[in-house]
Structure 1
Amino acid sequence: MRRYIIIGAGAIGGAIGGRLTQAGLPTVLVARGDHLAALRRSGLRLRDPDADVTVPVTAVGAPAELELTPDDVLVLSTKTHQAQAALTEWVDQPVHADGRVLGTAGELLPLLTALNGVASERIALRYFRRVYGVCVWLPAVHLVPGEVIVRAAPSTGTLHVGRVPAGTAGPDDHELLAELKHDWERAPLVVPLPADVMPWKYRKLISNLGNIFQALDGGSGDHRALVAAAVAEARNVLAGAGIPVTSDEEEAATRANSFTVRPVPGQPAQLGGSTWQSLARGSGSVETDYLNGEIVRIANEYGLPAPVNTRVAALARAAARSGQRPGDVTAEQLGRDLGLAEAP
């Protein structure tokens, strides 16, 4: 039986790891600080639209606390800007069987990249031979140590999974993906296995471009026009670079058979996304450089303009450095800062 090691048990990793544990699958959550202490002390509190349960979990703070085996699957679910440090911590860990070391995690173990953006796969391939991209549709929130709020029902979320790069999968990969789909759909998660997962991840990247606008204005104003400008610019950049993106129609059809976002008792009807959560926790960093900043990188590489995403990425960095909280600026001020609205 596979054991799933969730590296980064925050909102996404905590939701996945908690659900896998509930389904009776061997699972280890890797966390740190107060969150790790809470998991060890009391377990993981999972709150969703229909239930509020505390799940006893196995939690560790570092790879030295585990003995890896060939049946382990590593699931990277940090933020993208934290991926490099996590990968270098795990890549050279020994993999054991029958009292001997077979090799390292990077040589032998599959690694799933369950995080936003499209950069983590390239980063991971520097260290791990078998990398599987995951396009994450899972509305979860982690603000309190030891607790994750999942706003989806009846399934917890949808995770498209595929070998990266596309076309390199062999029999071992197909076997692993079939096992993973069987296991994770018990969680319950919906797990499509596209031939190429990256067009799905680029479409999700487009959706995530609005994260920083929600985080900065805290939902206090109407930032839809600003997001639309960033998205239109991104679509032009991706088209100019010749990067395939899953169509809106295909995405909508898949979402219709996925899950429904519903309020969680005792929580506001609207809870922020991953960038909002980073500012709300005062983490000191955000992943915007790998979301809006990814569009900037591609634009720079192909000599294309991306002024809106360039400016909002700079605002995100400044907000994280200064400890800015969601709602400290208005949508109107953001529009002026981005040159998308006239100053009064």
Structure 2
Amino acid sequence: MTRYIIIGAGAIGGGLGGRLAQHGHRVVLVARGAHLQALQRGGLRLRSPDQDVRLPVTAVAGPEEIILSDEDVLVLSTKTHQAEAALTQWADVPVISEGRTVGTAGERLPLLTALNGVTSESLALRYFDRVLGVCVWMPAVHLEPGEVIIRGVPRSGMFHLGRYPARSTTDADTELLDKIKIDWDGSEFEVLLPADVMPWKYRKLISNIGNAFQALIGPNGEFGRLVKAASTEARQVLEAAGITVTSDAEEAQTRSDSFTVRPVPGTPEVLGGSTWQSLSRGSGAVETDYLNGEIARIARENGRTAPINARIAALARRAAAAGRRPGDLSADEVARLLGL
């Protein structure tokens, strides 16, 4: 029976792992600090529009606390700026079969990259032979230790999965993807298996362009026009680089067919995305260098510039390092700093 090792049990990893455990699948959540202690002490509290449940889960701090086997599937769901540290931690862990070591995790086990951005897949190939990209659409929030809030109904979220790169797909990959689809579809998610997952991930990247603005400004002014300017710049950069992006119409239709977002009883009225959550928790770092900063990188690599995305990435990076909270800047201040 497949066991899912969720490396990074925050909003996405905790929500995914919690739902899988709730529906009878073998799951190990990898967490740290107060969150790990809460999971080990009282299980995972999973809150959604229709449920408030506490689930017994297996939670560990790292690979030294479990024994890996060929039945394991690793799911990387950290923030992108934390991904390389996690990859190096897990790649060389021995895989045991019938009491003997048969290889390492990097050699033997599939790794799913369930995190934002488009960089983790190529990062993972430095360490893992078999990488499967995951495009995540899941309205989930992790603010308190031991707790994840999921706001999607009737499905908790939607995932596009595929081998990376797509041309590497084997019959074994197809079999594994079909198995994952069965397991995750049956755990209140929807899994789609496109021929190539990366156009979906680039479309999600465009959606994540607004994360930095939401995190920095919060309720402190209307920032829609700023997001539009940054998104337009991002689209121009991707088009100039010849990168294929799933169309807005296809993405919107697919997502609306899967879930809608509803409030969760007893939770704050305002709940933001991943970058907003990082600032709210005072984590000291954010992933926007791999979102807006990714657009800047692609632009520079192709002899162009992306000043709006480069500047907002820098603002978010500095805000996190300084311990600022959502809404510490106004929309007018950010517009001035971006020259808009």
Into which bin does the TM-score normalised by the smaller protein fall?
over 0.9
1:173 aligns to 2:173 (yes or no) = yes
Correspondence 1:107-256 to 2 at 5 A = 107-256=107-256
**Once superposed, what is the RMSD of the aligned Cα atoms?**
0.6
Aligned-residue offset at 1:111: 0.1
Q: Which amino acid aligns with 1:323?
A: G
Partner of 2:336: 336
Letter of the aligned partner of 2:125 in structure 1?
Answer: L
- Alpha-carbon separation, structure 1, partners of 2:292 and 2:40: 36
Give matches, 1:9-158, under 5 Å: 9-158=9-158
Following TM superposition, by how much is the alpha carbon of 1:249 offset from its aligned partner in structure 2, in angstroms? 1.1
Deviation at 1:255, TM superposition (A): 1.1
**1:268: Cα distance to partner?**
3.0
Match of 1:293 in 2: 293
Q: What is the one-letter code of the residue matched to 1:278?
A: S
CA deviations 1:228-275 (Å, max 9, x no partner) are 000000000000000000001110110121101000001234311000
Matched letter for residue 76 of structure 2: L
| Counterpart amino acid of residue 195 in structure 2 | A
Offset from partner CA, 1:275-305 (integer Å, 9 cap, x none)? 0000000000000000000000000000112
Moved more, 166-175 or 234-243: 166-175
SS in 1 for 2:168: coil
CA deviation digits over 1:198-254, x for unaligned, max 9? 000000000000000000011321100000000000000000000000001110110
SS in 2 for 1:257: helix
Amino acid across the alignment from 1:261: V
Unaligned runs of 5+ in 1: none
Partners in 2 of 1:181 and 1:270 — Cα distance?
A: 32
4+ residue segments displaced more than 4 Å:
none
**Structure 2 residue 235 is matched with structure 1 residue 258:** no
Within 1, Cα distance between the matches of 2:239 and 2:67?
45
Q: Alignment identity in percent?
A: 67
Instruction: Provide the C-alpha distance between the structure 2 equivalents of 1:214 and 1:18, rounded to a whole number of angstroms.
Output: 27
How far apart in 2 are the matches of 1:7 and 1:261?
26
Q: How many residue pairs align between the two structures? A: 340
The SS at the match of 1:21 is helix
Matched AA of 2:240: G
> The residue matched to 2:5 in structure 1 has which SS?
strand
Moved more, 219-228 or 21-30: 219-228
Provide the secondary structure at the position in 2 that maps to 1:158: strand
**Partners in 1 of 2:220 and 2:337 — Cα distance?**
17
Q: Distance in 1 between matches of 2:256 and 2:330?
A: 33
Question: Which amino acid counterpart does residue 20 of structure 2 have in structure 1?
Answer: L
Q: Aligned partners of 1:337, 1:323: CA distance in 2, in Å?
A: 19
Q: Distance in 2 between matches of 1:78 and 1:268?
A: 24
